[in-house]
Amino acid sequence: MHSNYNINTISNVDLHGLCDIKVYHPEDVAQMEPLIDQVLDNEIHNDLLKKINAEMHSSTGDTDFTLNTASGTGGTWFPQHHPGWSNTTSAHAGTVQTQQHGKDGIFARVNDVTGFVSQTSSGTWGNVQDFLLHAQSSTTQPSANQAQWIAQAEWAGGADSSGSGGNADGGSTSVSALYIGKYYAPVYSSLTAGFVTTGGQAGSGPFASADPSDFTMAVEDILKVTWTITIG
């Protein structure tokens, strides 16, 4: 989807993006024959337009708005494929945030449980259904007016929705949506929140989303997403 945004009368900026979705069998090491191949014109969120507005008005540039694929020490990109959960039922009830709270990146909305967040420090928990693309990630600039993020992850099965922890189901999953942004923060009152702007790090919020035709992934299939956003 193209967005036309007026930057305080400076100019009208055309901003659009493409989300390239591919699924590969684990034996296709060279990734030459995708099982799923969809290229979507994505929806740009107003939050990203506001970031560009702020950047254009800055005299020095602002790294708060940077979405970088570095993880590990000091990095903020997702370091694992599940949002996270604890190993016992009682521990679930005390987890009001996922292990990936505050992280950045690309994730897929799936129909399997992948994490848990509690209502209170001792309350019941709700299920999170997000698959985080943490591996083989990179950030590139194909041209002067483009930014591109690439990430992938292997589907290993969902969590045990009964609350005992672990990759219990070991089955396939269905993907219904893709998201890219900063500060991942689902909570019990908003299990599908994804990336949020309130209470997060500087420059936080959703950048864009994509709505593919629903597709299924088997265990060990690899989901790879190349997300390109173009200005102008």
Angle of CA points 136, 140, 142, to nearest 5°: 135
- Is the overall model pTM greater than 0.85, yes or no? no
Give the pLDDT confidence score for residue 88 in this predicted structure: 44
Euclidean distance between CA atoms 168 and 71, whole angstroms: 27
Give the pLDDT confidence score for residue 89 in this predicted structure: 47
Note the pLDDT tens digit of each residue in 61-117: 556 667 878 776 667 899 988 887 644 444 455 567 788 888 899 999 999 888 888
Note the pLDDT tens digit of each residue in 115-128: 888 776 666 778 88
Average pLDDT of the chain is: 79
Give the pLDDT confidence score for residue 93 in this predicted structure: 53
Q: What is the domain partition of the chain in residue ranges?
A: 3-161+173-231
Both tokens of 80, joined, read 């694992």
Note the pLDDT tens digit of each residue in 16-28: 889 999 999 999 9
> What percent of the chain has a predicted confidence (pLDDT) above 70?
71
DSSP code, position 52: H
Note the pLDDT tens digit of each residue in 3-49: 554 444 445 667 788 999 999 999 999 999 999 999 998 877 766 76
One-letter amino acid at 36 equals I
Contacts of 119 (CB under 8 A, 6+ apart): 96, 125, 126, 188, 189
Give the pLDDT confidence score for residue 22 in this predicted structure: 97
Give the alpha-carbon dihedral of 99, 220, 20, 202, to 10 degrees. 10
